[in-house]
Amino acid sequence: MKFCGIKITHDGAVAVIEDGRLVMSSESEKVANRPRYSRIDELGDVEVLLDEFGYALDDMDVVAFDGWHEPYKIRRWRGIDVEVRLGPYVEGIRSKTLINPVQERTLDLEYLTFPHYAGHVAAAYCTSPFAVASEPALVVSWDGLMYPYLYDCRGDLTKLRTVGALFPLVGNAYSVLAGSFPPFDQRTSGFENLGLAGKIMAYAALGTPHPTAMAALDSALKDCHAACCRESPFGTDDAFRLESGVAQLEALAPTIHLDGVSPVDMIASISRYLGDQLVEGLDRALQTIPDAPRNLCLTGGTALNINWNSQIRESGLFENVWVPPFPNDSGVALGVACCAMAVAEGRSQVEWDVYSGQRLGTSAVDPAWKPSPCSLPELARLMDETGEPVVFLTGRAELGPRALGHRSILAPATHRSMHDRLNEMKGREAFRPVAPVCLENAAPEIFDPGTPDPYMLFRHHVRDSWRDRLPAICHVDGTARLQTVNEAQCPELVELLTAYREISGMPVLCNTSANFKNCGFFPDVASAMTWGKAPYIWSDGTIYERPEASS
């Protein structure tokens, strides 16, 4: 059977699963250099994205839409407005099962729609190693306007059980609370600025958590929760209202500016406090679940926070922790396709690959850029000799927000100046770190723990003996958002890194996303040329040299 999952709100995407295998997941922001987090406003875009892979909506056995907190949406279809009715943000009125579809129709398109929470949970569990092994797992889903809900999956997604919220804060708490301090000062836009949380995570490393601030935050949270949130005796998704969560943050933010605690330390304190709340909430929940699984999936936009993910993994509460490379809304189209598959076929596991996005486009390139054949060993030598960054484009795009070697800018990491240069090229703040990509078999020597981390979702410490050797990828607190690679995952990167290590002794390169500022990944070589800030572009055996690069 063929299942098509569609998300039309922010981070819009279309995914297709056929016979239990993910064939494609195309994100709106990665089409034609669109802005980050782009919606699908024109339903014709769905057909365009499907057509790239030889599909049409008529080919699908089941079409499924993601739910939303505003369930009635108007979208364009061939010049007219049509209403698309979406499922709820949370569970339905009668159903106490999250994976429960609602049948809807717009024009002649019949479709299912699932709660927004369901898409997150399904994307996390169905892509996990636990699903492959038919093992049970707990799933925490904490997204922007979502409370951190815990779910218990015993291998059958359709029998998912809601355990309840770990604590009473919606996911936007990080952006709203920490974002109210300098240098951000964006309390009023913390709900809408989807890119703010990542910047705060980077900036928090400059500060030190302050015990007084954390205690004050805890006290203020309890007071605001009592005043704003409706208590419920039920351990289901209706326990807290979305409106109450928003009101709570708006009331809480002005109360946490403390005398004697610097803004940067307050930001660090908020970051640590929220991580502590996750660990403590999980610890409490485990004590209430008979025979609780010791496998954990983390999903929702907050699962992009490598510090919290690592804090949970290092807590010892779980034997295994899984975070998919698309925990934010970019994975929800895949998630609702998984929901439809689970309902129709009883499958709770999908075969997938992180490089299942759009194919690299073939737009005409700028003839002023000089093309030359270039093998990966030759590219490694060029990077070592010139010390220059290279836009690296190959194959199909990565799923999710992290560039993992198919839509990347790669550069030597041996000089601190490269960190500054990459941030300047990309128009980013100077405090933002640059991630490393490292051969998996070399990572434990350089990083602690250095365990396999193919999707950049955990915190690693750069070992003391390597910090001066790889300064460009070492954050101010000595950590790195590491990507590890092996031959099965990304053979092109492995070949390049292996050759680079033979030449330079370094199995590590800088890896940052290749894109225009605030846009999705470059869809083709021509876009990288238009951007023009790197002297070289490598794509599938050809290197393009910027006109002035050789002069």
pTM recorded for the entire structure: 0.95
Task: Return the closest-CA partner of residue 90 out of 227, 205, 239.
Answer: 239
Whether the Cβ atoms of residue 147 and residue 169 lie closer than 8 Å to each other: yes
| Residue of 77, 160, 173 whose CA lies nearest to 119 | 160
Q: Which long-range contacts (CB under 8 A, 24 or more apart) does 462-470 make?
A: 469/414, 469/506, 470/413, 470/414, 470/436, 470/446, 470/506, 470/508
Structure tokens, 536:
């070289």
Nearest CA-CA partner of 173 in 246, 66, 98:
246
CA distance 514 to 493: 15
d(CA 53, CA 47): 10
Any bridge partners for residue 484, and if so which? 438
Number of helices (H), then strands (E), in the chain: 16, 24
What secondary structure letter does DSSP report for 171? T
Q: Residues near 340 by Cβ (< 8 Å), separated by ≥ 6?
A: 3, 5, 62, 63, 64, 101, 112, 114
Print pLDDT tens along the chain (551 aa). 999 999 999 999 999 999 999 999 999 999 999 999 999 999 999 999 999 999 999 999 999 999 998 888 989 988 899 999 999 887 766 666 789 899 999 999 999 999 999 999 999 999 999 999 999 999 999 998 889 999 999 999 999 999 989 998 999 999 999 999 999 987 655 567 889 999 999 999 999 999 999 999 999 888 887 776 555 443 444 445 677 778 888 888 888 888 899 999 999 999 999 999 999 999 999 999 999 999 999 999 999 999 999 999 999 999 999 999 999 999 999 999 999 999 999 999 999 999 999 999 999 999 999 999 999 999 999 999 999 999 999 999 999 999 999 999 999 999 999 999 999 999 999 999 999 999 999 999 999 999 999 999 999 999 999 999 999 999 999 999 999 999 999 999 999 999 999 999 999 999 999 999 999 999 999 999 999 999 999 999 999 999 986 54
Q: Indicate the residue type of 330.
A: S
Domains and CATH numbers, the chain: 2-121+331-345 (3.30.420), 135-322 (3.30.420.40), 370-545 (3.90.870.20)
230, amino acid identity? R
Distance in angstroms (rounded) separating the CA atoms of residues 164 and 151: 7
Measured CA to CA, the distance from residue 23 to residue 357 in angstroms comes to 9
Q: Are 16 and 22 in contact (CB under 8 A)?
A: yes
Are 248 and 226 spatial neighbours (Cβ–Cβ below 8 Å)?
A: no
- Among all chains, which residue has been given the structure tokens 């499924």? 64
Cβ neighbourhood burial of 482 (10 Å; 0-12, 13-18, 19+): buried
Read off φ and ψ for residue 456, nearest 5 degrees: 60, 50
Closest CA to 238 of 72, 85, 88, 101: 88
* 59 DSSP assignment: G
Q: Three-state SS across 299-363? A: ECHHHHCHHHHHHHHHCCCCCEEECCCCCCHHHHHHHHHHHHHHHHHCCCCCECCCCCCCCCCCC
Q: Which two tokens stand for residue 192?
A: 């809408």
